[in-house]
Amino acid sequence: MNQKIKFFEQVNKNFDIAAIYTNHPIGLLKQIKICNGVYHMTFPLKRDDGSIEVINAWRAEHSQHKSPVKGGIRYAEAVNEDEVMALAALMTYKCAIVDVPLGGAKGGIKINVRNYSQNELERITRRYTFELVRKNFIGPGIDVPAPDYGTGPREMAWIADTYSALTGGPLDALGCVTGKPVGQGGVRGRTEATGRGVYFGIREACSFPEDMKEIGLETGVEGKKVIVQGLGNVGFYAAKFLQEGGADIIGIAEYEGAIYNAKGLDVEAVFQFRRAGNSILDFPGAKKIPDSADALELECDILVPAALENQITMKNAKNIKAKIIAEAANGPVTADAAEALLNRGKRIIPDMYLNAGGVTVSYFEWLKNLSHVRFGRMSKRFEEDINTQILKSVEELTGKKLPQNIFKKIAHGPDELDLVNSGLEETMISAYHQMREIRLQHNSEISLRTAAFIDAIDKVAISYKEMGIFP
Ligand code: NAD
What's the chain's average pLDDT? Answer: 97
Task: Kindly tell me if the per-residue pLDDT of 88 is higher than 60.
Answer: yes
Average pLDDT over residues 385-390: 98
Measured in angstroms, how far is the CA atom of residue 49 from the centroid of ligand 1?
30
- C-alpha pair distances (Å), 251 with each of 167, 267, 273, 359: 47, 10, 15, 27
- 382 CB within 6 A, ligand 1: no
- 358 CB within 6 A, ligand 1: yes
- For 58-84, write each residue's pLDDT tens digit: 999 999 999 999 999 999 999 999 999
Average pLDDT over residues 195-212: 98
pLDDT over 90, % of the chain: 99
Q: Quote the pLDDT of residue 379.
A: 97
- 148 CB within 6 A, ligand 1: yes
392 has catalytic annotation: no
Strands 37-46 and 52-61: antiparallel
Measured in angstroms, how far is the CA atom of residue 293 from the centroid of ligand 1?
15
- 79 CB within 6 A, ligand 1: no
pLDDT over 70, % of the chain: 99
Measured in angstroms, how far is the CA atom of residue 309 from the centroid of ligand 1?
9
Q: Quote the pLDDT of residue 45.
A: 98
Q: Active-site residue among 33, 66, 106, 110?
A: 106
Average pLDDT over residues 268-278: 98
Which mutation among 148, 241, 279 tests ligand 1's pocket best, with the greatest number of atoms within 8 A of CB? Answer: 148
Dist. CA 37–CA 115, nearest whole Å: 30
- The kind and range of the H/E element at 199 are helix 190-205
Dist. CA 352–CA 328, nearest whole Å: 9
- For 121-159, write each residue's pLDDT tens digit: 999 999 999 999 999 999 999 999 999 999 999 999 999
209 preceded by a cis bond (ω within 30 of 0): no
- 232 CB within 6 A, ligand 1: yes
For residue 168, give the 3-state DSSP assignment. Answer: coil
Dist. CA 460–CA 458, nearest whole Å: 6
- Residues β-bridged to residue 289: 258
- The kind and range of the H/E element at 393 are helix 380-398
Q: Quote the pLDDT of residue 1.
A: 45
Task: Kindly tell me if the per-residue pLDDT of 393 is higher than 90.
Answer: yes
- 253 CB within 6 A, ligand 1: yes
Task: Kindly tell me if the per-residue pLDDT of 2 is higher than 80.
Answer: no
φ/ψ (deg, to 5) at 376: 90, -10
Measured in angstroms, how far is the CA atom of residue 128 from the centroid of ligand 1?
21
For residue 43, give the 3-state DSSP assignment. Answer: strand
Measured in angstroms, how far is the CA atom of residue 232 from the centroid of ligand 1?
5
- For 251-264, write each residue's pLDDT tens digit: 999 999 999 999 99
- 296 CB within 6 A, ligand 1: no
* One-letter amino acid for residue 5 of the chain: I
Q: How many CA atoms lie within 13 A of 133 on its CB side?
A: 19
Average pLDDT over residues 289-315: 97
Residue nearest to atom 5 of ligand 1 (CA): 232
Task: Kindly tell me if the per-residue pLDDT of 350 is higher than 50.
Answer: yes
Task: Kindly tell me if the per-residue pLDDT of 308 is higher than 60.
Answer: yes
Q: What is the DSSP letter of 376?
A: T
Task: Kindly tell me if the per-residue pLDDT of 11 is higher than 80.
Answer: yes
Q: Closest ligand 1 atom, CA of 149?
A: 23
Local confidence band at 418 (pLDDT 50, 70, 90 cut-offs)? very high
- Residues 92, 103: contact at Cβ < 8 Å? yes
Q: Closest Cα partner for 43 from 32, 52, 34, 54?
A: 54
- Residues β-bridged to residue 54: 44
Local confidence band at 462 (pLDDT 50, 70, 90 cut-offs)? very high
- Residues 47-78 as b or e (16 or more Cβ within 10 Å = b): eeeeeeeebebbbbbbbbbbebbbbbbbbbee
- The kind and range of the H/E element at 368 are helix 357-371
DSSP strands (E only) in 301-446:
302-305, 324-326, 347-349
- The kind and range of the H/E element at 226 are strand 225-229
Q: Closest ligand 1 atom, CA of 234?
A: 26
Measured in angstroms, how far is the CA atom of residue 198 from the centroid of ligand 1?
13
Dist. CA 137–CA 113, nearest whole Å: 23
Q: Quote the pLDDT of residue 5.
A: 78
- Residues β-bridged to residue 251: 227, 260
Q: How far is CA 33 from the centre of its chain?
A: 21
Per DSSP, helices labelled H in 34-115 are 81-97
100 Cβ partners below 8 Å, 6+ apart? 70, 94, 356, 359, 360, 363
Measured in angstroms, how far is the CA atom of residue 243 from the centroid of ligand 1?
19
- C-alpha pair distances (Å), 437 with each of 351, 451, 455: 18, 8, 10
Q: Closest ligand 1 atom, CA of 194?
A: 40
CA–CA–CA angle 22, 326, 243 (5° rounding):
145
- 306 CB within 6 A, ligand 1: yes
- 84 CB within 6 A, ligand 1: no
Average pLDDT over residues 106-120: 98
